[in-house]
Amino acid sequence: MADFHEFYPLRRHNTLGFDVRARFAAHVRSEADLRQALADPRAQGLPLVVLGGGSNVVLTRDLDALVLLMEIPGYAARAADDAFLVTAGAGENWHALVCRAIADGMPGLENLALIPGTAGAAPIQNIGAYGVELRERFDSLRAWDRQAGAFVTLTREQCRFAYRDSLFKAEGRDRYIITAVTLRLPRPWQPVLGYAELAREIAQGPDAPDTSDASNAPVSAARIRDAIIAIRSRKLPDPAEIGNAGSFFKNPVVSAAQRDALLARHPGLVSHAQPDGSYKLAAGWLIDQCGLKGLRDGAVGVYGKQALVLVHHGGGNGQELLALAQRIAETVAARFGVRIEPEPVIL
Ligand code: EPU
């Protein structure tokens, strides 16, 4: 039975820590809970908002909506010839899932360690870090299709993953409610160490015990995970200590011509060539160059160790954060002629 609440405080359900209320909220711990919550007469006609860990949303006002707090548990793994398939309930904590799979001898998610949020939210923005994106480790997901009124399975192709983007941020946004995710972890395991900062950390960091199954590999998945934890802990704020939603802006993609022109004027420009010949710029660098790192504007600000992260010091609201984000985007556009766009879902 889904617990149903009226005027429910969401402060503990969003990592920015904004104090807004939901007209109705339901704790969803099973697919049966989900159907029941959706059918509840009290919430008929209200818009629906689905929250996992709330680590990638900006809540700007009270939500006159039914908010589904996705807490469906579950973990199951099976071995196929070329991969391990790990299925997790949408409510499973992402980092705990990464660690559990590694401990169970199924490496492959280590580069995505310590990303806040739940398994069910991971496909929405196609989480990615340190050279790996979810789509490269994704098999399929199960979701309630509100249009069809049925549970469906969506494959990787159907999810239309792109950089920090998917079907669920586009046309599928109000259509699907993800209840379980199946990850595909290729065998044999190959470490991904192409990200310079990670390679450095592995080479220089303290030795970690090898607890992974990949015993013949020169570096274990557990070692990589620990290196990622060390790097992220150094430059990303812990939401338990300071409100934030990870990177607030996507890294903008520009043409080769635009990148060359920028590079000529700004020799320090950080850019990465994309397979299609375009370039991804480091938005954190652009913001940093505008002198905005560490800026504080009342209750909100730019994190002092990573300019791409906006923080909430407490007592503020989502509108203040959006005003700051707009000011940052305008400053970057005026200086570099590049538009940067927010990454989290704004509600
Ligand atoms: N940089 C600066 N100043 C800053 C921040 C960054 O000069 O204040 C420079 C760095 O020195 C580096 C470059 O910008 O040369 C890129 O920085 P970093 O390696 O920290 O990565 P990022 O592009 O800022 C992206 C993801 C992160 C992910 C890291 C590692 C996006 C929007 N962000 O950040 O993802 O952890 O790469 O792969 O793609 C997230 O999405 O919430 C997130 C944290």
Helical H runs in 17-58? 31-39
Burial per residue of 75-104, b for 16 or more beta-carbon CB atoms within 10 angstroms, e otherwise: eebeeeeebbbbbbbbbbbbbebbbbbbee
CATH label of the domain that carries residue 62: 3.30.43.10
Q: List C-alpha distances in Å: 170 to 46, 125, 222.
A: 20, 11, 35
Q: Are both 7 and 139 inside the same structural domain? A: no
Q: Are both 221 and 291 inside the same structural domain? A: no
Tens-digit pLDDT profile for residues 228-265? 999 999 999 999 999 999 999 999 999 999 999 999 99
Ligand 1 lining (C-beta closer than 6 Å)? 129-130, 197, 236, 246-247, 250-251, 270, 282, 284-285, 288, 293, 306-308, 343
Domain boundary among 176, 203, 235: 235
4 in helix, strand or coil? strand
Q: What is the pLDDT of residue 1?
A: 63
- Residues labelled catalytic: 164, 247, 343
Burial of 255 (0-12, 13-18, 19+ CB in 10 A): exposed
Q: Atom 27 in ligand 1: which residue has the minimum CA distance?
A: 129
Q: Atom 23 in ligand 1: which residue has the minimum CA distance?
A: 282
Query: Which structural domain, as residue segments, surrounds residue 325?
Result: 243-346
Q: Atom 6 in ligand 1: which residue has the minimum CA distance?
A: 284
Per-residue 3-state assignment (H helix, E strand, C coil) for 54-84: CCCEECCCCEEEEEEEECCCCEEEEECCCEE
Backbone angles phi, psi at 230, to 5 degrees: -65, -45
User: Number of structural domains, the chain?
Assistant: 3
Domain boundary among 197, 212, 235: 235
Q: Work out which ligand 1 atom sits closest to the CA atom of 293.
A: 8
Tens-digit pLDDT profile for residues 157-180? 999 999 999 999 999 999 999 999
**Mean pLDDT for each 10-residue chunk of the chain (347 residues)?**
89 97 98 96 94 96 98 97 97 98 98 97 97 97 97 98 95 96 97 94 68 58 97 95 97 97 96 94 98 97 97 97 98 98 95
Q: Are both 211 and 253 inside the same structural domain? A: no
For residues 193 and 224, give the distance between their C-alpha atoms in angstroms, rounded to a whole number.
Answer: 8
